Structure 1
Amino acid sequence: MFRWIKQFLPRGLFGRSLMLMLTPIVVVQIVTAIVFYQAHWETVSRRLALGLAGEIAFLVEARQYRDEPLNEAEIYDMAIRNMHIEAVFLPGARLPQERQEIRFYSILDNMLALALSERLSLPRQFDTRRDDGLVEVLVQLENGVLRVRTQDKRVFSTTTYVVILWMVGTSLILMTIAVLFLRNQVRPLRRLASAAEAFGKGREDPPVHPAGSTEVRQAAAAFLDMQERIRRHLSQRTDMLAGVSHDLRTPLTRMKLQLALMGDSEDIEALQRDVEEMERMVSGYLDFARGEEGERIEEVDLGRMLDDLARISAGRPGAGHGTARSIAVSHDPDLLLPLRPGAMRRCLENLVQNALRHGNRVAITARRDDTAIDINIDDDGPGIPEAQREAVFRPFFRLDRARNPDTGGVGLGLTIARDVVRSHGGEIHLETAPQGGLRVAIRLPV
């Protein structure tokens, strides 16, 4: 039951706070209107109706039951002068034959009907829906109909309407103030959430300034401290990795020079291969470090980037199995996205080159939906066993069977790709391609 009710409750903090604030006010208003004002209104209306009914009964008795009745004109003149009742006797008239219609929802109709039944035993009818603001009562006498008219104020109290209008108006003003106050309290939370989302996507939004209540300020300050610690940690890691990689290049260069001067031999060739392998590792470290560098976010046409990568990669020699290679690109027209262009280009280039290295046909597709852009890079190569698809993202992990290490790198390509994609708030994973090879699926939030 409670779960069913929760489906209709607001989910945001603003809606829930507003509901908690307004629900007691509305409930109190309803209870007050039903219990107090309805009872008060019915009591006042009943007494007013009884007063009018008693006055009409007086007129009837004054005319019918006195031994020496007063002149009718004098009676009616006294009624209009002292009781504000306009009375007219219609000789020979009869009440309408249709049945009196009493509106069940009208307090005036119900109270007047009850009062007339208590004060008069004669047939009667009344009309409370006249356009001139009068209440008309018809009483059937022996030789005619007594018609009595008076202002509806005599039998209907309007003070309750005034009180209700004042109460509702005041409540609306207070609700408006509450809504404005809550919006001001929720706005810093929304800015904080927007900043956290942008930081998770690697985008630089305007700085967050702590505002709002004490708790919101504390949350904003904690977020800013966390953001600064993460940036400092990434910067230190990048600087250290770049420095180590750069320092390693100097002794490697000296070793290559010394090996070149030592002549040719099997041992020398083995050492040269080791040095070249170390150079590739250092290059991989530098590529990984460049992926961590602080690059400005720019609005990039991802479709154009994919077209350029496909054209350049297809014409680059040295990859593949020596057979004809093909790259097919298909993408939606509007793929504008805020990205770090250099990092994303290196990421996609690594993935495309990896697909070309192990397959002959590569298909690149990019589709956009309401929340993200999906990029799929498919090849027809040997693929990667499902049990190892997560392990290949670990640094320096290299497959022995599915990928030939002689044609591969140092095991940082997919690590760099995942790092770049996640720094943009996206995700990357491996699947089986329709051609039977490997599919690299990337999802970037818009």
Structure 2
Amino acid sequence: MAAPDLSSAGTIPRRPGALGLVKRFLPRTLFGRALLIIVTPVVLLQVVATWIFYDRHWDTMTQRLAHGVAGEIAMVVDNFDRGTDPAERAETLRMAARHMDLIITFQPREILPNEPQRLRRMLERTLGDALDQRVRKPYTIDTRVAHEWIEIRVQMADGVLSVMSPERRLYSATTYIFLLWMVGAAMVLFAIAIIFMRNQIRPIRRLAAAAESFGKGRELAKGFKLEGAAEVRQAAAAFLVMRERIKRQISQRTEMLAGVSHDLRTPLTRMKLQLELFADMPEVEELKQDVSDMEEMINGYLAFARGDGTETPVPTDVNRLVREVVAGARRDGAVVDLHEEGTIELQLRPGAVKRCLSNLVGNARRHGRHVWVTAARRAGAVEITVDDDGPGIPVPDREEVFRPFFRLEGSRNRATGGVGLGLTIARDVARGHGGDVLLADSPHGGLRAVIRLPL
């Protein structure tokens, strides 16, 4: 079997390194990352402090306490070994109970089991090491005799010495206080950090929401103001200045084009009046047609340049708007099928969106015999789909047709191809709302145009 040719398969993907794997598990939001920056040093500090505490304080204190108890037991054992008089041994036990906080009893003729004992708890192992060093006799340790008590049984020559010691004598209560203080302080610090970070992140989120709203052609939310840290205020101020500049440029363009419209239409109107005074001749009819074409081209250019900058976004019933466009196309003799999926309401400029949809439906009915229009919600957006059964548009030309005055039909006849601004105006309107117009193959054999508007 021949080896596969990898040269045409593209570049072999590289495995992500350690840094890539770490980034995959890091939080993606600024709030999460900032909180991680604050929490990580605190957690590391707590871990190091806990390790040092257990390694030094806990271990040292436990060993000292265990050696203290083992030393007292060793003293009693030595006294028992020196004298066998029952009265002296009884006095030793009374003195131990009075001064050592130990309950010691002697069980004559008892023998410990001749089996090695397994010490499971750390406290038992520490006490066992101390007994090995101080007492040096066989012993057993039992922590299940009574609650908060430990029984140490030491094998003597003539019996077993039973020593009951409170557990508090073998460990320091400051351990739990220290751990409780560390955990409590950490939780308080985390709560304070979360509150402060939320207050710092909130202005950034509001700025992002304002930028997104402006990108969709909507007005800023009420109450937007400069707040937060100095850098966030600077970014918000720059955004407001940029917004005002863009609105001013749109207003100036609209005013300039209104003047151009008046200046161009006045001589065209005069020419039309003069042509009406001439006799009906073929040359005059051709001039009338040229003037009419020029007027149509100017109106189309002005509609494209004016855009939707002067219209205010309002809550709009998208289904009603689509039905109005379809009804207008049907009145003009078009065969249009309409399909609606649920109620759709969106903040938009109804006049501009209606012009956008009318251009797409007009193109579909111009090149096809049947048109299908669908309005529905799709993946966080509103999609209005216009299908036809016409010849469609070749894939290489689907981006070119959005250029102003670009026509697939080579002639300049408006009846066969328009002025080349319909799709340009449609995409300009959709992008002014933060959306887009996309072209694809229609399941009916022609072209599919999709207006996608974000919710």
Q: TM-score, normalised by structure 1?
A: 0.91
- Counterpart of 1:214, as a letter, is A
Give the equivalent residue in structure 1 for 2:443: 434
Give the equivalent residue in structure 1 for 2:418: 409
Give the equivalent residue in structure 2 for 1:158: 173
**Using the alignment, how far apart are the partners of 1:407 and 1:259 within structure 2?**
25
**Using the alignment, how far apart are the partners of 1:370 and 1:70 within structure 2?**
94
Q: Given the superposition, is the C-alpha separation of residues 131 and 23 from structure 1 closer, same or farther in structure 2, using an over 3 Å criterion?
A: farther
- Counterpart of 2:312, as a letter, is R
Which segment is superposed worse, 400-409 or 84-93?
Answer: 400-409
Give the equivalent residue in structure 2 for 1:373: 382
Listed as ranges, the matches of 1:244-263 within 5 Å are 244-263=260-279
- Counterpart of 1:390, as a letter, is E
**Using the alignment, how far apart are the partners of 2:133 and 2:188 within structure 1?**
45
The 8 Å contact of residues 371 and 445 in structure 1, kept in 2 or not, is answered as yes
Which segment is superposed worse, 256-265 or 398-407?
Answer: 398-407
**Using the alignment, how far apart are the partners of 1:228 and 1:130 within structure 2?**
83
1:21-44 CA distance string (max 9 Å, x none): 111111121112113443211111
**Using the alignment, how far apart are the partners of 1:66 and 1:144 within structure 2?**
14
**Using the alignment, how far apart are the partners of 1:365 and 1:131 within structure 2?**
80
How many residues align? The count is: 437
Q: Given the superposition, is the C-alpha separation of residues 98 and 376 from structure 1 closer, same or farther in structure 2, using an over 3 Å criterion?
A: farther
Shift of 1:286: 4.2
Q: Given the superposition, is the C-alpha separation of residues 409 and 282 from structure 1 closer, same or farther in structure 2, using an over 3 Å criterion?
A: same
Equivalent position to 1:58, from 43, 59, 75: 75
Shift of 1:418: 0.7
Shift of 1:404: 6.3
Q: Given the superposition, is the C-alpha separation of residues 230 and 336 from structure 1 closer, same or farther in structure 2, using an over 3 Å criterion?
A: same
**Using the alignment, how far apart are the partners of 1:314 and 1:131 within structure 2?**
95
Which segment is superposed worse, 119-128 or 376-385?
Answer: 119-128
Give the equivalent residue in structure 1 for 2:8: none
Secondary structure at 1:138 match in 2: strand
**Using the alignment, how far apart are the partners of 2:97 and 2:285 within structure 1?**
131
Give the equivalent residue in structure 1 for 2:14: none
Secondary structure at 1:406 match in 2: helix
Secondary structure at 1:49 match in 2: helix
**Using the alignment, how far apart are the partners of 1:89 and 1:124 within structure 2?**
14
Give the equivalent residue in structure 1 for 2:40: 23
The 8 Å contact of residues 342 and 376 in structure 2, kept in 1 or not, is answered as no
Give the equivalent residue in structure 2 for 1:114: 129
Shift of 1:49: 0.4
- Counterpart of 2:143, as a letter, is T
**Using the alignment, how far apart are the partners of 1:412 and 1:427 within structure 2?**
16
1:105-134 CA distance string (max 9 Å, x none): x43222112111222333222233566322
Q: Where does structure 2 lack aligned partners over 5 or more consecutive residues?
A: 1-17
Shift of 1:102: 2.4
Secondary structure at 1:314 match in 2: helix
Find out whether 1:237 has 2:253 as its counterpart. Answer: yes
**Using the alignment, how far apart are the partners of 1:316 and 1:275 within structure 2?**
25
Q: Where does structure 1 lack aligned partners over 5 or more consecutive residues?
A: 318-324
- Counterpart of 1:373, as a letter, is V
The 8 Å contact of residues 409 and 416 in structure 2, kept in 1 or not, is answered as no
Q: Given the superposition, is the C-alpha separation of residues 98 and 227 from structure 1 closer, same or farther in structure 2, using an over 3 Å criterion?
A: farther
Q: Given the superposition, is the C-alpha separation of residues 76 and 426 from structure 1 closer, same or farther in structure 2, using an over 3 Å criterion?
A: same
Q: Given the superposition, is the C-alpha separation of residues 198 and 183 from structure 1 closer, same or farther in structure 2, using an over 3 Å criterion?
A: same
Equivalent position to 2:28, from 11, 14, 27: 11
- Counterpart of 1:294, as a letter, is T
Q: TM-score, normalised by structure 2?
A: 0.89
Shift of 1:354: 1.3
Q: What RMSD, in angstroms, separates the aligned Cα atoms of the two structures?
A: 2.3
Secondary structure at 2:307 match in 1: helix
Which segment is superposed worse, 236-245 or 260-269?
Answer: 236-245
